Amino acid sequence: MKNILLFLSLAALYASCSTPSGEETMQTWAATEETQDLQDMTDLELDRLVLPEGFNIELYARVNNARSMTMSPSGVLYVGNRGGDKVFALKDTDGDYKADVRYVLDSGLRTPNGVAFKDGDLYVAEISKLWKYSSIEDDFTSISKELIYDDYPSDGHHGWKFIDFGPDGKLYVPVGAPCNICESKDSVYASITRMNPDGSDREVFASGVRNTVGFTWHPETDVMYFTDNGRDMMGDDIPPCELNRATEAGLHFGYPYCHGGDIADPEFGDKYPCEDFVKPVQKLGPHVAPLGIKFNTGNMFPAEYNQLAFIAEHGSWNRSQEAGHTGHKITTVKIENGEGVAYEDFITGFLNEETNKAWGRPVAVLFLEDGSMLISDDLRGAIYRVSYSG
């Protein structure tokens, strides 16, 4: 444990300064407005999806490589992009829960996966940079941005970022491990960091996190819950991916030494016992690639879905053809006293189990004011809306 404490001390030292190197872009430009193809159902197989009785799913909008999502108080949906270089904004101008206008807000970015909205400003995370688009909704014809930081690692491996603001007003930014399995001399890797909105007072909040692409806070306790993608190349059925709970700063969640709370890594597991680390709240399926997570606090879904954690499982790649893929679905976790007590499927059918091929890959979930849920799908370039009619 002494080495782990030293690891965290180095993290604090790394975070002592987060001032951009001077690169700023303050020129203004206009967003590109698009209305074509927003409701194109070609290549979508929504009839394959299986939902609980009374639930419906329909297309909300087409967005190329749709990834992370954030909704502003005015109802503008902002969407990040991993496979491309753009950031999008969507508007539902007639209130029919289908977007009818799509804007390309910015382009030429390196994997702008992460988007977050706070106090009228849009924040967009590239792999090593964070931009703030101040007062973004005042006028889409006059957009400007400010560089908040540019000194995070530039590694492409697990470099894309999900970002969000916590109940403490801090911006939380993860840094994935630059490998499948390795020890890193730089303690910022395999972590979740946090900072003030202007980039100051940056620190490592959680360590031993291989790659989280989704986190949220419990609606009653304000405690962070985050998904974590398990390591590859240990076989078809281990290790499990994880849902974790960070009750305070400074906790270590095991990577690269321990997986799933009780599986010692074959290369690094002899250095520390699994008992030294925080165990998962819930073990998820092996290689399911859990990404987005949100708690349901709305009043549209039946009561049994209240405060369940909804997780988008992007789906496996590191499994044999004989074993078949895992994930490619939406699941729920019921949490009691900080522990998972039920892990169940909610939407299946993105994966054709007969052919072992997926036609869709869920990335993020987001609840709307009416209690319905949006799901982004980067494979099909689409966002779906799930509602309940009873």
* pLDDT score, position 5: 41
Strands (E) in 162-308, as ranges, are 164-165, 171-175, 191-195, 203-207, 215-217, 224-228, 240-246, 251-252, 258-259, 263-264, 282-286, 290-295
The whole-angstrom separation of Cα 218 and Cα 238 is 28
* pLDDT score, position 25: 53
* pLDDT score, position 185: 85
Shortest CA distance to 328 belongs to which of 366, 375, 289? 289
Whether 310 is covered by a domain: the verdict is: yes
From residue 201, alpha-carbon distances to 197, 218, 243, 246 in Å are 10, 24, 27, 19
Mean of the per-residue pLDDT values for the chain? 93
The model scores a pTM over 0.85: yes
Through-space distance between the first and last CA atoms of the chain, rounded to whole angstroms: 53
The H helix count followed by the E strand count for the chain is 1, 30
Domain region containing 113: 2-21+32-388
Whether 10 is covered by a domain: the verdict is: yes
Is residue 104 predicted with pLDDT exceeding 80? Answer: yes
Higher pLDDT pick, 60 / 5 = 60
How confident is the model over 48-61, as pLDDT tens digits? 999 999 999 999 99
- Could you give the count of Cα atoms lying within 13 Å of 84 in the half-sphere of its Cβ? 18
Going by pLDDT thresholds of 50, 70 and 90, the confidence category of residue 120 is: very high
Whether 74 is covered by a domain: the verdict is: yes
Whether 27 is covered by a domain: the verdict is: no
* pLDDT score, position 27: 78
Number of domains in the chain: 1
Q: Which residue has the tokens 């849902």?
A: 243
* pLDDT score, position 204: 98
Whether 217 is covered by a domain: the verdict is: yes
Query: What is the dihedral angle through the alpha carbons of 358, 181, 177, 272, rounded to the nearest 10 degrees?
Result: 130
Whether 57 is covered by a domain: the verdict is: yes
CB count in 10 Å sphere of residue 69: 23
Shortest CA distance to 112 belongs to which of 158, 160, 174? 160
Going by pLDDT thresholds of 50, 70 and 90, the confidence category of residue 18 is: very low
Under DSSP, is residue 11 helix (H, G, I), strand (E, B) or coil?
A: helix
CB count in 10 Å sphere of residue 46: 15
Domain with 310 in it: what CATH number?
A: 2.120.10.30
Per-residue pLDDT, averaged over 69-97, amounts to: 97
The whole-angstrom separation of Cα 255 and Cα 261 is 10
Higher pLDDT pick, 308 / 10 = 308
Tokens describing residue 254: 């095991």
Whether 26 is covered by a domain: the verdict is: no
Whether 357 is covered by a domain: the verdict is: yes
Which residues sit opposite 70 in a β-bridge?
78
Is residue 11 predicted with pLDDT exceeding 50? Answer: no
CB 230 within 8 A of CB 250: no
Per-residue pLDDT, averaged over 114-131, amounts to: 98
CB 297 within 8 A of CB 306: yes
* pLDDT score, position 274: 98
CB 197 within 8 A of CB 125: no
Calculate what percentage of the chain has a pLDDT beyond 70: 93
Of the listed ranges 20-24, 155-159, 208-212, 366-370, the one predicted with least confidence: 20-24
Dihedral sign for Cα atoms in the order 93, 94, 99, 101: negative
Per-residue pLDDT, averaged over 252-265, amounts to: 98
How confident is the model over 155-211, as pLDDT tens digits? 999 999 999 999 999 999 999 999 999 998 899 999 999 999 999 999 999 999 999
Of the listed ranges 97-101, 131-135, 316-320, the one predicted with least confidence: 316-320
* pLDDT score, position 41: 96
Q: Which residue has the tokens 């590859």?
A: 232
Tokens describing residue 150: 């540019």
Shortest CA distance to 353 belongs to which of 390, 323, 374, 375? 323
The whole-angstrom separation of Cα 78 and Cα 298 is 21
Q: What residue type is 101 in one-letter code?
A: V
CB count in 10 Å sphere of residue 250: 15
Polymer length of the chain = 390
Going by pLDDT thresholds of 50, 70 and 90, the confidence category of residue 286 is: very high
Contacts 24+ apart (CB under 8 A), 272-280: 272/1, 272/3, 272/4, 276/1, 276/4, 276/252, 277/208, 277/252, 277/253, 278/208, 278/244, 278/245, 278/246, 278/251, 278/252, 278/253, 278/254, 280/228, 280/240, 280/242, 280/243, 280/244, 280/253, 280/340
The kind and range of the H/E element at 9 are helix 2-14
* pLDDT score, position 20: 61
Going by pLDDT thresholds of 50, 70 and 90, the confidence category of residue 9 is: very low
The whole-angstrom separation of Cα 388 and Cα 174 is 33
Going by pLDDT thresholds of 50, 70 and 90, the confidence category of residue 12 is: very low
